[in-house]
């Protein structure tokens, strides 16, 4: 039998095995993971994964690799993340005598500029102003956050870690199918909303259309070169964050954004803090604190599932039961997200109560395994848009250090607002605030008044970079995703595919998924979901059923013996790189 027939036969066996245990493989099942023993990087573009691996091969650690990969993603996935955006990073540093093991969370989320008040968008009376154009832009945090991580926890110099990104920007790379799809979707949106060009400004728009949309004719195989971005990256390599938050770059950003001043940029600082942690099936879950809602929502969901472990264990090979239990727990988490979560520097958030065992006991007791409940029975109190405006990468190095890093410019190509002279695309993160009372944001998420914009405030986020430590304290899973609120459900499902079903990394991320975020009260299955009986069983339990093309894009690393398996989600076309 040929190698191809061996792989096909193995893949069919895996599909049959996993189909009985609730894991749905999206298309052709994956073969077992390659095992990397000297470090691996999983990003959603292979250029970024290879950049991280280059740092590991130079003797750098997981932080060096993550920073190099992130700067490369700014070049290779400009519609998802970049220097004009922000993000979150969770770091695990393995014990190294005399230092004990440490976990660090770094927040470099965009902040509201000084010219924005709680009623700013009401006063503007401009439709889509929080999503398109310069009024939508928050103060970028990516550069500050990455350099903070590098300087405090990395081992290599700026010039070394930025070299792959500079090379990719100068030499260019061929755009892939995911890039073309993102560009075409934006072109379709612009055809439907020509008024957006005036919001952006025609001169800036024309440069953006020429450079990133290939004059309206993107196709696979075209080469994207970014000489202006390369020049900016060289300045950053030489001068660090000061080159971005002062001088010509800061002046250019502030000059393009009416609500932002040069002082807003000069004052920007990332925050390092302790991650929030929880336990599940004997593992320690290390997750992002506020303003990420993802960490709290994931720990709350896992806490409820842990308390219904009898039902969960019985559902391991009954996918309808497992799906229902997961959805019911997740709806409680999303209900509390809407009611309570916000930037905890501006609003009192009782995180310890939301994550307490006593509260989880109460919510877990409300779950009816046979029926869903009305929306007002969850927590303490339309069709979702596609999103490609976020990117995640996962890293483990040879010493057992790990990084989970999620970054974004929010919606695809952010605010569609470019700074041509420095090669930047700016975020539209202001839409993650409650901009107009009573209205949901672009992801259909309802927000409370706690999440109104104020100068210096972080908007609530769904980004959920997460590290799972085994009972021995070693890294077991590194996971995160893109996809708006689907980040939370996608990351959780992929993680549980490993922890509960022992799926390989590729099986875990390739499996078809579902999503529910409490409101709108719709359970969405990916179009690739193959088992119609599960969908009908969920409908019989009272769930309103919807469908979507995909549900998030996950990058995952899992322990495999003395090494690690890794996978980049096939939904976006990335690939891991390791040794």
Catalytic positions: 390
How many whole angstroms separate alpha carbon 448 and alpha carbon 372?
24
Cis status, amide bond into 501, omega within 30 of 0: no
Whole-angstrom distance, CA of residue 403 vs CA of residue 370: 39
Cβ contacts of 142 within 8 Å, gap of 6 or more: 70, 74, 81, 82, 83, 84, 85, 86, 87, 108, 407
Closest CA relative to residue 338, chosen from 485, 119, 547, 490: 485
Specify the 3-state DSSP secondary structure of 380. coil
- 409's tokens: 């410019």
Burial of 531 (0-12, 13-18, 19+ CB in 10 A): middle
Query: Which residue from 553, 558, 556 is spatially nearest to 573, judged by alpha carbons?
Result: 553
> Please, are residues 413 and 218 in contact by the beta-carbon 8 Å criterion?
no
Our CA dihedral for 279, 284, 287, 293, rounded to 10 degrees, sits at -10
Euclidean distance between CA atoms 39 and 400, whole angstroms: 8
CA distance 137 to 114: 12
Any residues with CB less than 8 A from the CB of 532 and at least 6 apart, and which?
none
Q: Is the Cβ–Cβ distance between 291 and 108 less than 8 Å? A: no
């Amino acid at each position: 039998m040929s190698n191809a027939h061996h792989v096909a036969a193995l893949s069919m066996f895996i599909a049959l095995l996993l189909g009985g245990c609730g894991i749905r493989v999206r298309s052709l099942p994956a073969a077992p993971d390659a095992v990397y023993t000297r470090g691996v990087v999983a990003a959603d573009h292979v250029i970024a994964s290879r950049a991280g691996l280059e740092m590991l091969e130079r003797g750098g650690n997981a932080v060096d690799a993550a920073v190099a990969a992130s700067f490369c993603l700014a070049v290779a996935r400009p519609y998802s993340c970049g220097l004009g955006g922000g993000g979150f990073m969770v770091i695990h540093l393995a014990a190294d005598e005399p230092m004990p093991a440490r976990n660090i969370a770094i927040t470099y989320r965009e902040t509201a500029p000084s010219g924005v008040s709680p009623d700013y968008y009401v006063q503007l009376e401009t439709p889509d102003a929080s999503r398109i154009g310069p009024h939508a832009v928050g103060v970028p945090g990516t550069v500050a956050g990455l350099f903070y991580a590098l300087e405090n926890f990395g081992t290599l110099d700026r010039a070394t870690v930025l070299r792959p990104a500079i090379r990719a920007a100068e030499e260019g790379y061929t755009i892939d199918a995911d890039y073309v799809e993102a560009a075409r979707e934006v072109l379709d949106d612009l055809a439907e909303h020509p008024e957006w060009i005036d919001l952006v400004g025609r001169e800036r728009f024309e440069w953006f259309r020429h450079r990133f949309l290939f004059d309206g004719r993107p196709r696979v195989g075209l080469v994207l070169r970014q000489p202006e971005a390369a020049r900016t990256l060289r300045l950053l390599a030489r001068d660090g964050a000061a080159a971005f938050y002062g001088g010509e770059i800061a002046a250019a950003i502030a000059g393009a954004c009416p609500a932002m001043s040069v002082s807003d940029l000069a004052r920007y600082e990332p925050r390092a803090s302790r991650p929030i942690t929880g336990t599940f099936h004997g593992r320690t879950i290390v997750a992002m604190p506020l303003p990420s809602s993802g960490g709290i929502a994931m720990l709350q969901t896992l806490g409820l599932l842990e308390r219904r472990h009898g039902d969960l264990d019985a559902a391991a090979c009954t996918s309808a039961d497992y799906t229902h239990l997961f959805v019911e727990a997740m709806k409680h988490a999303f209900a509390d997200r809407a009611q309570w979560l916000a930037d905890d520097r501006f609003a009192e958030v009782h995180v310890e109560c939301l994550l307490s065992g006593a509260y989880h006991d109460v919510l877990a007791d409300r779950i009816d395994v046979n029926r869903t409940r009305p929306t007002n029975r969850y927590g303490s109190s339309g069709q979702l848009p596609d999103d490609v405006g976020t990117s995640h990468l996962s890293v483990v190095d040879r010493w057992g250090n790990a990084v989970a890093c999620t970054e974004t410019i929010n919606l695809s190509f952010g605010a569609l607002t470019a700074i041509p002279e420095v090669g930047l695309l700016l975020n539209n993160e202001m839409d993650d605030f409650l901009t107009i009372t009573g209205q949901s944001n672009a992801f259909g998420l309802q927000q409370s008044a706690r999440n109104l914009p104020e100068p210096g405030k972080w908007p609530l986020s769904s980004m959920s970079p997460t590290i799972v430590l085994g009972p021995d304290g070693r890294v077991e899973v590194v996971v995160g995703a893109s996809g708006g609120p689907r980040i939370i459900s996608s990351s959780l499902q992929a993680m549980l595919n490993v922890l509960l079903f022992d799926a390989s990394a590729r099986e875990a991320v390739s499996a078809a998924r579902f999503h529910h975020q409490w409101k709108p009260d719709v359970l969405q299955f990916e179009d690739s979901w193959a088992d119609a009986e599960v969908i009908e069983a969920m409908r019989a339990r009272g769930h309103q059923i919807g469908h979507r093309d995909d549900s998030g894009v996950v990058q995952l690393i899992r322990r495999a013996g003395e090494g690690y398996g890794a996978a980049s989600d096939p939904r976006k076309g990335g690939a891991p790189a390791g040794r």
